[in-house]
A and B are shown apart, each in its own frame.
Chain A
Amino acid sequence: MLSIIDLRVNYGKVRAIQGASLRVEAGQLVSIVGSNGAGKSTILQAISGLVPVSGGEIWFDGERLDRLPAHEIVRRGIAHVPEGRALFGRLTVLENLELGAYARQYTRREFDRVLEEVCTMFPILKKRARQKAGTLSGGEQQMLAIARGLMLRPRLLMLDEPSLGLMPSRVSQIFETLSQIKRRDLTIVLVEQNVQESLELADYAYVLQTGRVVLEGPGDVLLQQDMIRQAYLGM
């Protein structure tokens, strides 16, 4: 479904991604793990057109994505829930969800149905619908960010550190939600610092180090690897 071939991304002189190749098959949950500054967020930003690509190719369903402007990429059905959430804090929860559906020409009825669907997954958002997004708690904000992504009815959902900055009980809640979403046959790319949980959930995973893929394989296989256990799980 998604294939990234020999991707290179530079920020001025900083070579953030130095030739990375990744594949995501339809219906899979693919995890990208790696230490701080490895280039995980940069890969997601390259896919969604937020940073210019300086080499390589990105293909999505037989169409080349790099070179397309960001808003066109969203229209192809790719939702990116970025690091830091990027909510519209001054707008209400409902307005944020409406904006999540911006790229779709839903009829009123379709919109209501998608909204209902998303709100059954995150009941708290329904209660907070008229509240300003900026006044939600951290965990609620993260749920809103994911829910807003789901409003697109995405074909590919990309999540960048959804558990960042949340307390442990909230983190497990987020992972519970992710496995729920996964059961709906959505294709997901997940970037996470919680390597254990994210590999348990992943069909396939990539380990990134200074802009290169250094290890890849099915999640459960990677969990058994000494390199992963030492570097990321502290065993």
Chain B
Amino acid sequence: MQDYQSQKPIVLDILDAHRTMPGNLLPILHGIQDTLGYIPPAAVEDIAKALYLSKAEVHGVISFYHYFRTTPPGKHTIRICRAESCQAMNSKALENHAKQTLGVDFHETTSDEHFSLEPVYCLGNCACSPSITIDDEVHGRVTPEKFDQLLAACKGAK
């Protein structure tokens, strides 16, 4: 894990940029995660101080939302939709295939730190289920074969 001292200036900048914004905690957390890939636990103290909140309150918000993470993600994050429409198009098989291929379960990162696997509940791509995202890109009608191709393309493009 990275040393927080090198991340701290970034966190402080983000805090500063949102100082006067009403309801700024989520935008701040997004800002940090967008930049660093996760919210370093050590940042909680700085956030709490800047917003006049307790550390417990900040931590409570971070842990409430599925999207926020407190550990560094792999190079790419793969999200597999688990919701009903994708289930109706066999997403369970895809889910199993992905876990097996990557050798990880949900909320885990491969040992080469290449891929993090996360569940997601609907990507709004239900007209072309089953759906996954790799980073910000959505992919529809993903068969296990297509999954393998996408994975290979990711690895090729590293």
Chains A and B are bound partners: no
